[in-house]
Amino acid sequence: MFKSGSKLKIFDVLKSFDASISQMPKCGFIPNEYEGPKYEHVLKTKRENLTKGSPAYYREHLLIHQGHKQWLWDTNGKRYLDLFAGIVTVSVGHCHPKVNQALEEQINKLWHTTSIYLYPGIHEYTQKLLKKFPSKFNVVLFANSGSEANDLALYLSRLYTGNFDIISLRNAYHGMSPYTMGITNLSTWKYNIPTAFGIQTVMNPDVYRGPWGGKNCRDSPSQALRDCNCEAGNCEAGDNYSNQVQDVLLHCVPKGGKVAALIAESIQGVGGAVQFPKNFLKQAARIVQSAGGLVISDEVQTGFGRTGSKYWGFENHEILPDMVTLAKGIGNGFPMAAVVTTKEIADTLGQAAHFNTYGGNPMACAVGSAVLDVIEEEKLQQNCETVGNYFLNELKKLRDEFEIVGDVRGKGLMIGLELVEDKKSKKPLNADSFLNIFENTKNMGVLFGRGGLYGNVFRIKPPMCITKDDVDFGIYVLKESLHKETKNKK
């Protein structure tokens, strides 16, 4: 449960800006007074004792102290609207009281036994989670991260099918373990070591930057600003991109076109919220399954109602995958992940021992169960659809107003805003300009994500509890920051 600390004065976030900054929605929560190490000491540790592969987001680094629902506070008491949710991980809100209470009750009973013993939590949670899936799915394999879940799904697909080749999409991100780095196809995340043995990549079906697609192709309130020949129920772009999957089977895998699996996100996350054209994934899945392969839906970022209209992202594509991987929002920030599949596929692991020390531990299951309850009780899936549509329509107004806003895309609260030098060339906005805007939004009290191959996409994936008032404030801050940078460029 929440425990308020001393009544630390909360900063008026944009004190030095226009008086209209009062648009920042009110929050009655009072954070505890910070008593930890000084900013300079933390920064020194970051620079000297932590990995260089994980740089801090901003020029002037943030030191976050506490969170509550959609809000974060730094160590000075300054409040921020979190529109990135700890990289699309905080699903129901920072330190949600019901989730906190479930964890607190569990840690006072049992932290850990591993699956060598029976304990009720894992069985109760497994049944509750499976009720969210089509009836074909009846086994849950627990892990601790999205990388682990995707790693296990690849392993299972090869064991079950007897085939080796895996198909993944260019621009996809599926994790950073040695196995999953092979299916992560963003050069900015690649090291010069062999990781992609047996991985075949296909053209990314991006209707904004790719060769096909336009104003009629997305399942979204916001379409790409270019013409296409697609009509209702007949998306030529989807056909053309799925033909690329067939072409890979023809040329790049062993004779006979046999593969182990296709893995795909429902909407690409790290790649910049790229949405596929209608029917692409449905046709690609059919092609792969006809070639003896399984379909793995990576729901690490898109699951648990985030896309609004459906609980799982794959449902928006009208496909029934063979495996679904879950992480991030499954535990609202608690380290937890899972592979959901059929008994027939899962039983392949019976050929030898398979074990995960912490997967499905009592604390994780208590948290996961509470997260499912909160999504249902607070109607957060419906909130994603309502507030997400509102957000997308407001962002479209910015696209109409600013030459450097090239594309707005997404579904529910899985949104991307791509910045360019100009709409005609689509050349990615230069890094200095992007960072100027990015830094200014932070200084004005709003935290966005950043992604895409060129690092020029605002990733907007907030806790699913945000409101329209929060959106209005976020739009205001983003608009002011865009105005400031475009004025400076002239």
Residue 29 sits in the same domain as residue 144: no
Residue 212 sits in the same domain as residue 88: no
Residue 349 sits in the same domain as residue 389: no
- The larger pLDDT score, comparing residue 231 to residue 365, is at 365
Q: Which of 362, 377, 392 is the last residue of a domain?
A: 377
**Residue 490: which pLDDT band, with cuts at 50, 70 and 90?**
low
The amino acid at 363: M
Tell me if 235 sits within 8 A of 278, measured CB to CB. Answer: yes
pLDDT at 4: 41
Burial of residue 47, with CB atoms counted within 10 A of its CB: 0-12 exposed, 13-18 middle, 19 or more buried = exposed
Residue 373 sits in the same domain as residue 396: no
Question: The domain spanning residue 157 has which CATH number?
Answer: 3.40.640.10
Question: The domain spanning residue 394 has which CATH number?
Answer: 3.90.1150.10
Mean pLDDT lowest among 44-48, 261-265, 275-279: 44-48
Q: Which of 352, 377, 402 is the last residue of a domain?
A: 377
Q: Phi and psi for 105 in degrees, rounded to 5?
A: -65, -40
Residue 240 sits in the same domain as residue 332: yes
Residue 15 has pLDDT above 60, yes or no: no
**Residue 225: which pLDDT band, with cuts at 50, 70 and 90?**
very high
Assigned domain for 11 exists: no
The answer for 164, left when phi > 0, alpha when psi is -120 to 50, beta otherwise, is alpha
Spatial distance between the Cα atoms of 370 and 359, rounded to a whole number of angstroms: 17
The label of the residue with tokens 């699951």 reads 303
Host domain of residue 471: 19-92+380-489
Residue 51 sits in the same domain as residue 194: no
Spatial distance between the Cα atoms of 275 and 217, rounded to a whole number of angstroms: 9
pLDDT at 399: 98
Cα distances from 326 to residues 183, 251, 265, 304, 335, in angstroms, run 16, 32, 11, 9, 11
Q: Report CA Rg, the chain.
A: 22
Residue 46 sits in the same domain as residue 105: no
Tell me if 268 sits within 8 A of 232, measured CB to CB. Answer: no
Q: What sign has the CA pseudo-torsion 270, 272, 277, 278?
A: positive
Six token digits for residue 127: 């049944």
| Nearest one of 242, 376, 389 to 317, comparing CA atoms | 242
Residue 63 sits in the same domain as residue 74: yes
Spatial distance between the Cα atoms of 369 and 120, rounded to a whole number of angstroms: 12
441-462 pLDDT, tens digit per residue, is 999 999 999 999 999 999 999 9
- The larger pLDDT score, comparing residue 308 to residue 354, is at 308
**Residue 17: which pLDDT band, with cuts at 50, 70 and 90?**
very low
Assigned domain for 408 exists: yes
Query: Which residues, in sequence order, are bridge partners of residue 447?
Result: 82
Residue 390 sits in the same domain as residue 355: no
| pTM of the model as a whole | 0.94
Residue 1 has pLDDT above 50, yes or no: no
Q: Which of 359, 377, 395 is the last residue of a domain?
A: 377
Residue 240 sits in the same domain as residue 387: no
Burial of residue 172, with CB atoms counted within 10 A of its CB: 0-12 exposed, 13-18 middle, 19 or more buried = buried
Residue 12 has pLDDT above 70, yes or no: no
Arithmetic mean of pLDDT over the chain: 93
326-346 pLDDT, tens digit per residue, is 999 999 999 999 999 999 999
Tell me if 451 sits within 8 A of 417, measured CB to CB. Answer: no
Assigned domain for 212 exists: yes
- How many domains is the chain built from? 2
- Please compute the mean of the pLDDT values over residues 102-116 and round it to a whole number: 93
Assigned domain for 228 exists: yes
Spatial distance between the Cα atoms of 321 and 343, rounded to a whole number of angstroms: 14
Residue 8 has pLDDT above 50, yes or no: no
Residue 365 has pLDDT above 60, yes or no: yes
51-107 pLDDT, tens digit per residue, is 888 777 899 999 999 999 999 999 999 999 999 999 999 999 999 999 999 999 999
The label of the residue with tokens 């920072």 reads 94
Tell me if 2 sits within 8 A of 68, measured CB to CB. Answer: yes
Assigned domain for 6 exists: no
Assigned domain for 54 exists: yes
Assigned domain for 12 exists: no
128-175 pLDDT, tens digit per residue, is 999 999 999 999 999 999 999 999 999 999 999 999 999 999 999 999
pLDDT at 16: 41
Spatial distance between the Cα atoms of 8 and 348, rounded to a whole number of angstroms: 56
Assigned domain for 2 exists: no
Residue 271 has pLDDT above 90, yes or no: yes
Residue 119 sits in the same domain as residue 47: no
pLDDT at 414: 98
Spatial distance between the Cα atoms of 230 and 217, rounded to a whole number of angstroms: 7
Tell me if 224 sits within 8 A of 207, measured CB to CB. Answer: yes
Residue 151 sits in the same domain as residue 294: yes
Residues 6+ apart with CB under 8 A from 125: 360, 365, 366, 368, 369
- Please compute the mean of the pLDDT values over residues 177-201 and round it to a whole number: 92
